[in-house]
Structure formats: structure tokens, C-alpha cells
Amino acid sequence: MIHPCIKFGVFFILLSAQPVCADAVYTWKDEAGTLHLSKKKPPQEARQTHRLNYGTTSAPDSAPPAMPPEGKPDDSTWLKKAARAKLERNNADTARQMAEEAIEAANRLKKETDAFLEPWRNKRRIKQPVLQQIDDRIRAANAAIERAETLVKRYNEAEQTARQAEREAQKAQQALFEQYKRIMSN
């Protein structure tokens, strides 16, 4: 009899392994109740079988992969959701970094503009070229602030999308784990 910790360890090793050449790995129990892991299809007399798909396509001579029971994802669903969650997290992290940089740039430009305006605040008459410089600096500072606000909004949306994708991947992983536990207990 295989210890349950070993069963789960093998299962998670299989889940984390990168596909190299196998399209599927089958788990099945023989008449004696021994668990087998194989790239070959189990014999007809196997009590319970489960196919872990790792490739995107199956071999032409093999049967199409069995559909999982209603509401229960197979491992490829979990892997796809985990990959999507990782991608969305990277997008959110990039958006956060861009927003932080834009905020720093807007703050720096606003401080520079305020420093430039300080000597001119109490003057009654300012020459046209200086007025133009003041106007240009104020426009640039406002544009930098708008850009920062836009990037913060984009980051917030990306963060929400990443969190949702992470929740979906976690649910799929838990469902797969529960399904595997049921298979292993039979």
C-alpha cells in the first residue's frame, strides 16, 4: 500500500512538471488496489482511471481525452488558469510600476513648476515670454498629473483582474485536488 503523502507528492510533482514529450499521464489502480502511473493507457480491467493531460493536442491514433464530470476541472483547466493568473499578475505589477513612475514624475514636475512660479507670484507685470513659460510649465504639470491618474486607474483595473484570475486558479486547483483525493480514496 502506498502511503497517502507519497500519493499526493507524486500528484503535485506531476502537476508542476513541464510538458516535455508526453501528452498524458494515466493513473489507475489494478485488481490488487495498487496505484500505477504510466504514459501508456491502462488495461481494460483497471478499476479506476484518470488521465492527466499535458499537451495541447493528442496523438492522432489516441482517443480524444475524456471530458471531466460536470463542474469539475481537469488539470489542463487548472494549468491554464494558473498561467492566466501569472500573466495577469505580471500585467498588474507592470501597471503599478508605470503608475508609480508617473506619480513621481508628476510630483517632480509640479515642484519644479512651483519653484519656477515663486519669484513671479507677487509681480504685477510679467513680460510675455515669461508668461508663455509659466503657461507651458503649468500645462506640462497638468498633463503629467492626468497621465499619472490614468495609469493609477489602469493599475487598479489590472490589480482587480489579477486578483480574480488568482481566485479562479485557486478554485480550480482546489477542485482538482478534491477530485484527486476522491480518485485516490477509491
- Mean pLDDT of successive 10-residue segments in the chain (186 residues)? 47 46 58 65 68 46 47 67 92 92 90 86 81 88 91 93 93 88 83
What pLDDT does residue 49 have? 58
What pLDDT does residue 152 have? 92
What pLDDT does residue 54 have? 44
Q: Which tens digit of pLDDT belongs to each residue from 29-61?
A: 677 666 665 667 777 777 655 555 544 444 444
* CA atoms of 123 and 46, how far apart (whole Å): 93
Please report, for the chain, the start and end positions of each structural domain, with discontinuous segments joined by +.
4-58, 82-124+132-175
3-state secondary structure 35-94: EEEECCCCCCCCCCEEEEECCCCCCCCCCCCCCCCCCCCCHHHHHHHHHHHHHHHHHHHH
Q: Please give the order of strands across the beta sheet that includes 35-38.
A: 35-38, 24-29, 49-53
Helix (H) or strand (E) holding 141, with range, is helix 128-185
What pLDDT does residue 170 have? 92
Supply φ then ψ for residue 27, to 5 degrees: -115, 140
Look up the pTM and report it: 0.53
What pLDDT does residue 47 have? 63
Q: Which residues of 159-176 are buried (b: 16+ CB within 10 A; e: fewer)?
A: bebbeebbebbeebbebb
On the 0-12 / 13-18 / 19+ scale of CB atoms within 10 A, 158 is buried
